[in-house]
Amino acid sequence: MTENGDKPSSYHTGVGSTLTGIKLKRILMDCAEKKCIFIEAEVENSPDPAIIILDKLPFTEDTLQGIISGSTSLETVLQNDIYGQYRLLPDPQHNEVKANIIHPATQKHIDKYTTSPPHLVYETAELYHGVTLPFIEKEKFSVSWVYNFLDHKSETDRVIYENSDPINGFMMAPDFKWNGKQIEDLYCLAIVHRRDVKSLRDLSNVHLPMLYNLQKEGKKAISDKYGLPSSQIRAYVHYQPSYYHFHVHYTNLAFTPPGVNAEKSHMLETVISNLENNPSFYQEATLSFVVREKEKLFKTYQEFGYFKESVKTVEFMDLEFEEDDGRKVLNFLQMIGKAKHEPSGEIWETTYGESSWRMAILCMCLPSSVNRNKLVQLSLVSSLSSLGSCNDENTEWDTKLQEVKTILREFLPPLVAGKLAALFTEHAEIRRGRLVSSIEHQLYRGIMELEEIILRWEEEKKSCPDLSKASILKKMAELQFPGSTRFNEFKDPLLLEKSLNFILEISTLQKLKRTGWVNCQVREPETVASHMFRMGFMGVMFSHKESTRAADACIISIMHDMAECRIGDITPHCKVPAEEKKKKEMLAFTGLIENLPESTGMDLLIPFRRYENQTPGDLNAILTKDFDKFDMILQAFEYEKREKRGKFLQQFFDSTQTVFETTAVKKWQKTLLEMREEFFNQEL
């Protein structure tokens, strides 16, 4: 459309029986092996360029009959003994060349068909959410022509099959690159009716009925229409697709069209099998695709640094978290700090951070046969619901997801933003009941339900001290907590109650205020549970693909202060010697877990002991120690800004001047001190 809303003049409106009014400008790309050439042309009386795509069609029996006949002129090129090479000039009706004309063509069209060196990208889930998806959303690629087709506003005469189901249906037509005549180069396209699937990355098990239809009905429609057996039909999906509305390509198996290569196409049957085995396969998988240097997506990845040839090997302790000055990251961590104090619901006192922390601990009490690390990360990232314009989790999830992703991309490095966006999207899909087929997804949904049951029980218990725990025990049994078998088979709740008693005792950390803040008379100070929450969240942030060795730091973080539910928060001002404090904490922790099954108790004890021991070679424990001290001074700065009492928490900054050991957290410390000085200089 023009700026005035008028449709621009097109060569197609006045086309006659000859190529009049078109002049060759330049060859964009010549694919000799495919007998195809892409040309930029000028159109008479039009300021807009045209693109002409010329294809030599495959030979058929009819065209061969016309070529091998007396009407074909023959010119000798070379003769040698029994070998001869000739130039054949058949009648025009047997010498057909297919021409696709795009006019008016945009610069995007010209770029698409211009020769450019290709590069491979191996896109992880983090790269998708951190680099590719932001690019797609920023560019806002138009698919209005797709909607016109699906709404029967255009190309209705080309439709060869339709399943009109708005959720699982599709429409099929010959691809624009096929003339619809000979089956040797058969090429059809099926476009789905639903409009919420952009690409492979959006697929999950809920889309299997749609994919089954595309597989069975799509092939049958082609067989019925063109007589090609289904075993000779190749059905596949492109990644990256040429446009972001889900569609499937169908071609003759004997034909090798562009885009059928391994780094771009995914067989439909394989896609279905992957989703049957793992409902979130395409949310988690590493997918390859080709980008050319002329494309904007290549430039986006280039700016991110993906194509750097020399990658410096960095020791774990020297990992850099971000390349800029880190201020955005610290601002984001302060946003997360709000989850420490923001109630997670209208009737709950428990905050987002405290609830996320308890869910993470609940996950650690599940059988070790499941991916507890993933469940813990989902639990902690659920706190991102506190971000955005509305904290109520009953808000529209599509709006919430977009708000959270926008914040992540604005404040965090791409890979970290991608990691958190992928986890929060998974959390939201499970919460909405759209992703519950894998055991981890079922368990995580159950953990969310269990947390809500506990929250309601805690609230009702205020007015009814003897309130039964039956509903909690029943849900724990469903989730296979230790003792579930005896509870389900023999109605014996004893072992299950021991697990529940452990959970309820550590839940007191959601009320225990941090001693340092209380002593300094900070208004409404954070709890021990919320302190461990943000430390755990830092661990999730560090556990992206470039620093997977940091994953354990998340688990250690959510465990390290649990003994304080029995001995309280002991600070240096309590004048307890370090060795005595360590002994008290270890004794308290072992007392906490002594009634748990041995395997569960050890799974909790090992991370706690690693933090306490701070073994020189245990890098995750060292990183967690840095998280502990940094969260303290970051929280101190947040309280200084809120309380408006000057640098009244200076003692916390003094005590941590030289304690940090990891490069990334040292950098955070330096940036935080600069931000603090700037803040108070502005206050003067």
Residue 111, sorted as left (phi over 0), alpha (psi -120 to 50) or beta, turns out to be: alpha
Q: What is the DSSP letter of 646?
A: S
Tell me how crowded residue 335 is: count the other CB atoms within 10 A of its CB: 14
Count of H-run helices and E-run strands, the chain: 27, 14
Whether omega for the bond prior to residue 49 falls within 30 degrees of 0, making it cis, is no
Q: Which two tokens stand for residue 518?
A: 């209380």
Q: Which two tokens stand for residue 360?
A: 């993470």
Beta strands in 60-178 (DSSP E): 73-80, 83-89, 97-102, 118-123, 161-163, 170-174
CB 469 within 8 A of CB 500: yes
Q: Which two tokens stand for residue 212?
A: 């089954």
Tell me how crowded residue 228 is: count the other CB atoms within 10 A of its CB: 20
Beta strands 118-123 and 97-102 are unpaired
Q: Which residue do the tokens 């002594």 mark? A: 594
- Collapsed DSSP state (helix, strand, coil) of residue 671: helix
Q: Taking Cα atoms as reference points, which of 236, 288, 240, 295 lies closest to residue 266?
A: 236
* Alpha carbons 398 and 406: distance in angstroms, whole number: 12
Phi/psi at 427 (5° precision): -55, -45
Q: Taking Cα atoms as reference points, which of 432, 434, 470 lies closest to residue 448?
A: 432
- Collapsed DSSP state (helix, strand, coil) of residue 611: helix
Q: Which two tokens stand for residue 581?
A: 């404090």
* Sign of the CA dihedral with 63 first, then 67, 70, and 71 last: positive
Beta bridge partners of 29: 38
CB 132 within 8 A of CB 123: yes
Q: Which two tokens stand for residue 67?
A: 């070529």
* Alpha carbons 506 and 565: distance in angstroms, whole number: 6
Tell me how crowded residue 337 is: count the other CB atoms within 10 A of its CB: 22
CB 626 within 8 A of CB 538: no
* Alpha carbons 90 and 485: distance in angstroms, whole number: 82
Respond yes or no: is residue 247 known to be catalytic.
yes
Q: Which residue do the tokens 């429609």 mark? A: 221
CB 339 within 8 A of CB 533: yes
Catalytic-labelled residue, pool 109, 193, 245, 247: 247
- Collapsed DSSP state (helix, strand, coil) of residue 477: helix
* Alpha carbons 275 and 465: distance in angstroms, whole number: 48
Residue type, 500: L
Write out the catalytic residue numbers: 247
